[in-house]
Amino acid sequence: MDLREVWRLLGLPVERWDSLREKVEDPNLREALTNATSRFATRREEALRGVGDFAKVQERGREIKERALAKAEELWASIEAQFTARGGIIHHAATAEEARNIIKGIAEEAKVDLVVKGKSITSEEIELNPALQEEGIEVVETDLGERIIQLAGEPPSHLIVPAVHRTVEEVAQIFERHWGREVPRDPFLITKEVRKEIRQKFLTAHMGITGINAIAADRALFMLMTNEGNGRLCATLPPLQVIITGYEKVVETLADGLFLLDILPRNSVGLTSSSYVSVFSAPFKWKEGRQLHLVVVDNGRKKALEDPQLKETLRCIRCGACMNVCPVYQSVGGQRFSHIYMGGIGAAWTAITAGYEAAKDVADLCTTCGTCLEVCPVGIDIPKLVEVVREREKVATKIRREALKALEKRERLQSLSLVMGMMPVKQMPELPGALGELAGKAVLPDPPLKPFHAWAKEHGITTQGGDVTLYAGCMIEYLYPQIAEDAVELLRLLGVTVQIIKEECCGHPHEVMGETLKGRVLEAKNLERVDSRKPLLFLCATCLSGLLKGASSRKIKALDLSQFLLKRFPEKSFGSLNATVAYHLPCHLGRHAGVKEEPYALLERVEGVQLVRGDEESLCCGGAGLYRFTHPPVSKEILRRKMEWLENSGAECLLTSCPSCIMQLTQGVKEAGLDIKVEHLASFLLKALRSHEG
């Protein structure tokens, strides 16, 4: 059976496999994205040193945007009164079509035949360029990156650096086709030649169009940042100026706007400031009759502002930092991971401006790893927005729906586990053809003899009498029960007794796939059975992050194993074991549950351990539950980068606190040919304690 047929049967888009693989295997794209995103990350860290605690920056950025959005109608009324009094003309467009028609009408009335245009993702949203070109109007993008992709016939791939996916060689080839002559492979010389060409366009254009970064309502000031000066020339040289802005760009005061403009370049591409900050208040009247039009685009924004789940999308200041750190974006780029808006935040923007059907594929491509949570300057919970889009569009495919149904009933998982125990599972990953390729030749654990709860019952562990309640989770229960058994023994050696509950799935897989109600029902069933007087201990990062909020609301102290051990034994050594160890910080543990340094602190208390540290330790492994099966080309590319770090680390052992990550990392180690053991932190600590005692 052809692989594409397998995908059809599973309810997955047939074209996705090919398109994802094409992007992942493109050497030019990989080189361009790797160089750019690593450079942005380094510069960002340096540029933010001067602003203090980034958490406080996020808090102030969030407060500025929320305060403005809460009184948006009032602020826009003030802006309109001031702006029109100065001679400006304001237009309100309810839809993208209405915005296009307004701008076409302005151009027609002024008999415009040439437009110079600054970078504006809102203009991409309303599909302005094709609309003007259909009227016979030449449109010239004046931002260098935008000019490159315009000539290439492509959409932008990044909010700030639209041609980030192109290498110097490719850019030179694009301009060779445009100019009909040889172009040097030198960015400086290419820029110099483009500047000459576009300067003539500035001098002869009848209309200049720009976007805007922020609008200060207290003085009706329009603030625009650029690094090339092209925005200022678009706004001042042509006799007709048009500013396009989304309804959400308003801020209450000039000070608020300047704060956001200070943070934006630092956070996006690591510049302490942009080369040009232009502020407009009225038509720049160097010529009699010169006009300034402001087109305010709604296109779903006002409706989103009334939506309790989607409204935080409107806080976005379009810095693009979330893309720079996103493992999916780094693998396939912004043209594949987008509709018009890119990345995880793009899923929400697409849902607002183009509808949920258009947002479906973008949302589905996100791993919800949460890397974006650490860099958003206005504190947007992007993974949660992705889940909202998934829930409303019902993105779960047949294979995922069946998997979720299996998780809902432990009896089904029990039966599946028994069947697996009777099958030659180790041969399954080696199956030839489509099915084997779809599974990625996955490294599966040996079928367990019995689930953890059956083992616990045999060993006298019940729902009462323990110092802590241990929650195993589905993967540990049926695939890796030895992890829970090791944890029980570890705690016993430390003098801690364990009790259990009748477990349901934690519900987190359901929430991630948009089955929010079912996920919350499962969460409630679990937490109703927990004794709130005792710590609830987790060995699975995903389960902890899924139940953490609900546990907190019920006054249940939910803890990762590392947190519990450090709190319970603040001075204790945890044995000895001579080993060079790396620890993979699971996304759900570090970014979602906020447990970041505890596993490392714990390992530092094991005598003989040499701990390998580095930025890559928290890099997503690409497993993300079923993601490794539904998006294997992307999952494998993310995993490849993790293995590159591991190979260079010198580690003999790779530890983590997530069974899903263990499965993915074991796969990576095998494919990379590394002699490195992957195991759970609990199992490693048990060996260290036994070694010390022995």
Question: Are 440 and 560 found together in one domain?
Answer: yes
Identify whether residues 556 and 591 lie together within a single domain.
Answer: no
Distances (CA, A) of 527 to 408, 499, 541, 550: 15, 14, 17, 8
Distance between CA atoms of residues 580 and 563, nearest Å: 22
Residue 286 pLDDT: 78
Listed in sequence order, the residues at least 6 apart from 340 whose beta carbon sits closer than 8 Å to its beta carbon are 121, 124, 125, 155, 346, 349, 350, 353, 354
Q: What is the CATH number of the domain that holds 653?
A: 3.40.50
Neighbours of 73 (CB within 10 A): 12
Q: Are residues 462 and 560 in the same domain?
A: yes
Question: For residue 395, what pLDDT is reported?
Answer: 54
Burial label for 351, CB within 10 Å (0-12, 13-18, 19+), is buried
Buried b (16+ CB within 10 A) or exposed e, 3-20: beebbeeeebeeebbeeb
Query: Residue 13: what pLDDT?
Result: 57
Residue found under tokens 């710590």: 535
Residue 364 lies in a domain: no
Angle between helices 632-649 and 659-672 (to 10 degrees): 70
**pLDDT for residue 431:** 47
Give me the number of domains the chain comprises: 2
Instruction: Give the CATH number, domain containing residue 450.
Output: 1.20.1050
Count of residues making up the chain: 694
**386 in Cβ contact with 378 (< 8 Å):** no
* Structural domain boundaries enclosing 585: 568-693
Residues of the chain with pLDDT below 70 are: 1-15, 395-444, 447, 692-694
Are residues 441 and 539 part of one domain? yes
Report the pLDDT value the prediction gives residue 447, as an integer from 0 to 100: 66
pLDDT score for 619: 93
Domain boundary among 537, 565, 593: 565
Report CA dihedral (152, 153, 155, 160) to the nearest 10 degrees.
40
Q: How far is residue 585's CA from residue 578's CA, in Å, rounded to a whole number? A: 21
The secondary structure of 205-245 as a DSSP string is -SEEEE--SEEETTTTEEEEEESSSHHHHHHHSSSEEEEEE
On whether residue 638 sits in a domain, the answer given is yes
pLDDT at 632: 86
In a domain, 601, yes or no: yes
Closest CA to 267 of 79, 60, 117: 60
Q: Which of 565, 580, 609 is the last residue of a domain?
A: 565
Q: 554 with 575, same domain? A: no
Q: Among the three residues 536, 565, 594, which one is the final residue of a domain in this structure? A: 565
Same domain, yes or no, for 555 and 580?
A: no
Are 502 and 576 within one domain? Answer: no
Give the bridge partners for 102, in sequence order: none
Same domain? For 504 and 554 the reply is: yes
Q: Does 548 share its domain with 457?
A: yes
Give backbone dihedrals phi and psi of 220, rounded to 5 degrees, phi first: 50, 55
Q: How far apart are the first and last CA of the chain?
A: 55
Q: Are residues 518 and 595 in the same domain?
A: no
Q: Are 689 and 575 in contact (CB under 8 A)?
A: yes
